Chains A and B, each alone.
Chain A
Amino acid sequence: DAKTTQPPSMDCAEGRAANLPCNHSTISGNEYVYWYRQIHSQGPQYIIHGLKNNETNEMASLIITEDRKSSTLILPHATLRDTAVYYCIAHLTDSWGKLQFGAGTQVVVTP
């Protein structure tokens, strides 16, 4: 799986959109971009994933650049409960499922 690079931390004001960047310049054509988040001492929570097209669900939106070298996770209206470590993972789904986590981005939502 390709390596991803994320900023170590970022702050966001409650009620504003949070835009979390991720670089994956070596991603291959059949690797998906997955996002998980982990609230302190809990198990990682699946957020969203995509291959080429932008994706949206009830939690977030995922914007993938046309060259697929980077992506942005958007939390449209951040709340205090969105404070967590966010992990961006490039993952080959036919590789039997080994997820390679990096250090992630610590997001702190402030009132």
Chain B
Amino acid sequence: DAGVTQSPTHLIKTRGQQVTLRCSPKSGHDTVSWYQQALGQGPQFIFQYYEEEERQRGNFPDRFSGHQFPNYSSELNVNALLLGDSALYLCASSAQTGYSTDTQYFGPGTRLTVL
């Protein structure tokens, strides 16, 4: 059973560019959450997708957007990249059970470097 997968593993971009990161959830999971982890800090919640809609968002600007596809996979898009966007981007998947969200399982992350 494959766990959460993310692509690419590493990415280098320059300021002002746009980037798309991809995530495939664990089998049987229908909810995807994205986190940003700057060096030396804990992961910070960006947003969560369920039923192809963003249903919760952290304190991130509109430059950060996402999408969830019918097969539950997800993309994170970041526009107008800033140097401060350099971070490890983590995807976590979980299953929705009634009104509760079960345990989140994380992927290996995508390391984004903005020059």
- Give the interface of A toward B (CB within 8 A): 34, 36, 41-46, 49, 87, 93-104
Contact = CB atoms under 8 A, between A and B. Distances in A.
Contact of B104 (A46, A94, A100, A102): A46
For the complex of A and B, the 9 pairs showing the least CB-CB separation, nearest first, are: A101-B42, A97-B101, A43-B106, A93-B100, A44-B106, A98-B45, A94-B100, A43-B108, A101-B43
Contacts of A46: 103-106
B104 A97 contact: yes
Interface in B34-59: 35, 41-45, 48, 50, 55-56, 58
Contacts of B102: 93
Nearest to A101: B42
Contacts of A101: 35, 42-44
Interface string B16-50: 00000000000000010101000001111100101
Given A41-B88, A44-B43, A99 B104 contact: yes
Interface size class of B (residues with CB under 8 A): 20 to 34
Contacts of A104: 42
Nearest to B107: A43
Contacts of A95: 101
Nearest to A48: B103
Contacts of B58: 98
A103 B105 CA distance: 19
A45 B106 contact: yes
A101 B104 CA distance: 13
Contacts of A42: 108-109
Contacts of A103: 41-42
Nearest to A89: B42
Interface in B63-115: 88, 90, 92, 94, 99-109, 111
Contacts of A98: 33, 45, 48, 56, 58
Contacts of B42: 87, 101-104
B94 A97 contact: yes
